[in-house]
């Protein structure tokens, strides 16, 4: 079973919880791990910016990506949210089976 891990940053723990609850309740992901207090440095509108953010590590199936990305964009506070999908090359077969069952078709 193919799986992907999607990275998304949020501006605060409150926003991260809102995104996480929505993503999981709508079965767009099997699991979301929140990593608080990551420090990002990035270009924005011609300037180098710094921000403290919450990193979401979203585990889902590839066929859920488009709906997941669309939903994140609908509710995210950023005009250009980070939404990056990485393929899972290998994994615990039992975990991958659970992931597939959790997100459905």
Q: What is the pLDDT of residues 62-98, one digit of tens each?
A: 999 999 999 999 999 999 999 999 999 999 999 999 9
Read off φ and ψ for residue 73, nearest 5 degrees: -60, -35
Residues spanned by the domain of 20:
4-103
Q: Which residues have a Cβ under 8 Å from the Cβ of 2 and sit 6 or more positions away? A: 61, 62, 87, 88
Which helix (H) or strand (E) segment holds residue 47: the answer is: strand 47-60
Residue-by-residue DSSP string for 62-77: GGGHHHHHHHHHHH-S
pLDDT digits (tens, 9 = 90+) for 20-40: 999 999 999 999 999 999 999
CATH number at 93 reads 3.30.70.120
**For the chain, how many structural domains are there in total?**
1
């Amino acid at each position: 079973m193919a799986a992907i891990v999607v990275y998304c940053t949020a501006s605060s723990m409150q926003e991260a919880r809102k995104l996480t609850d929505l993503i999981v309740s709508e079965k767009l992901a099997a699991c979301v791990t929140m990593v608080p207090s990551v420090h990002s440095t990035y270009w924005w509108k011609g300037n180098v910016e710094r921000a403290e953010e919450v990193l979401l590590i979203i585990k889902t199936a590839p066929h859920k990506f488009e709906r997941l990305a669309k939903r994140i964009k609908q509710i995210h506070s950023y005009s250009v949210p980070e939404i990056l999908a990485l393929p899972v090359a290998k994994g615990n077969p039992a975990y991958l089976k659970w992931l597939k069952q959790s997100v459905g078709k």
